[in-house]
Amino acid sequence: MPVETALSGLPRYRLVPGPTPLERLDRLAAHVGHHGLYAKRDDCMTLGMGGNKLRSLEFWLGEALARQVDTLLVAGRTTSNQCRLTAAAAAKSGLHCIVLHNDDTPAKAEGNLLLSRLYGSETRFLGPMDEDERSRCLAELAAQMEGSGHRCYIVGDPVVGALGYVACAAELIAQAGEQDAALENVILPGSMGPTEAGFLFGCALAGAPFHVHLVSVEYGIDRLAYLVEDLFARLCAHTGVTPSVKPASFVRYHERYLGAGYDMPTPEAISALETVAALEGMLLEATYTAKTFAGALDLIEQGEISPESATCLIHTGGVPSLFTQAGALGLDRL
């Protein structure tokens, strides 16, 4: 079934005006003895310095505007890519944006936090707390705002957000055909699930043209698989479409590149970050993309992905975070 059929009728506000580049990585491929390595450059978008959450925001914002809201509410850590891009999308669409950060007030604004402020968002710091407590604070703020006459939309519903990467899967399939790339493998970060489940859903609708590898950057395999499979099932319910192909037939999960845990750099990730920058002039960041690229390079070097098998890494963005990570990565010394 065409992806467009599954997405038809769902509210969407275009923030990504055209396909992001599918770029050959010939120097990196030669470095690892591979013969067809590509990157899908979702870091190269015109709004907000790009990233995967911008695809999700097309559908979150579509819902918000359909409900005629005046304010977007979003929450995350000060390093949150989702907060940055929500602020940018609000600026683009003329909505007010309030960002709640479950962190102490930092000494200075930099990285994603700096950009959110430049985009005109109102930023509030809640102090350290877990995600459940943060969600309660967000719901309380929404109730207060509604009580004072505002119409608010809370950004972050994972099923709606996953729709962005249903569309991305179709985009990549079309580009691979146009470039005669004959892609066999696609590799992307494994985290909370919307990007991953959406991409798998889009691939399943197209008959699973790729083997998809999810390199965990946050959870063990069991937890990651549960999140992805649960969201896949909820996408079926949301769209009213159930692909005949199941994700288990074409997805592999990898957790050995996670290291000490989420947002904890590994030596291999730091090496991948430096190597990709030096060979391709492409920037990664430590939390998501560097671990994913490190995993991909190791899978190739270990022969788990054949050097003859055309392979695409999805660069999910997040580059502004790099400018706050140099010290932790040991890259700030001359």
**pLDDT recorded at residue 269:** 97
**Within-domain flag for 57:** no
User: Is 107 inside a domain boundary?
Assistant: yes
Task: Place 2 in a pLDDT band, splitting at 50, 70 and 90.
Answer: confident
* Domain span including residue 90: 70-150
Q: What is the pLDDT of residues 184-216, one digit of tens each?
A: 999 999 999 999 999 999 999 999 999 999 999
**107 and 203: one domain?**
no
Confidence of residue 1 (pLDDT cuts 50, 70, 90): low
Please report whether residue 59 resides in a domain: no
**DSSP letter string, 141-209:** HHHHHHHTT--EEE---HHHHHHHHHHHHHHHHHHHHHTT----EEEEEESSSHHHHHHHHHHHHTT--
- Total number of domains in the chain: 2
Angle between the N-to-C axes of helices 289-301 and 267-280, in degrees from 0 to 180, rounded to the nearest 10: 90
Averaged pLDDT for residues 59-63: 98
138 and 42 fall within a common domain:
no
The HSE-up count of residue 17 (CA atoms within 13 Å, CB side) is 4
Does the structure show a pLDDT above 90 at 250?
yes
**Domain CATH for 115:** 3.40.50.1100
Mean pLDDT score, 250-263: 96
- Looking at 150, 177, 205, the residue that finishes a domain is 150
Residue 38 shares a structural domain with residue 80? no
| 121 falls within a domain | yes
Q: What is the pLDDT of residues 145-157, one digit of tens each?
A: 999 999 999 999 9
What's the mean pLDDT in 97-112?
95
Residue 57 pLDDT > 90 = yes
Domain co-membership, 144 together with 214: no
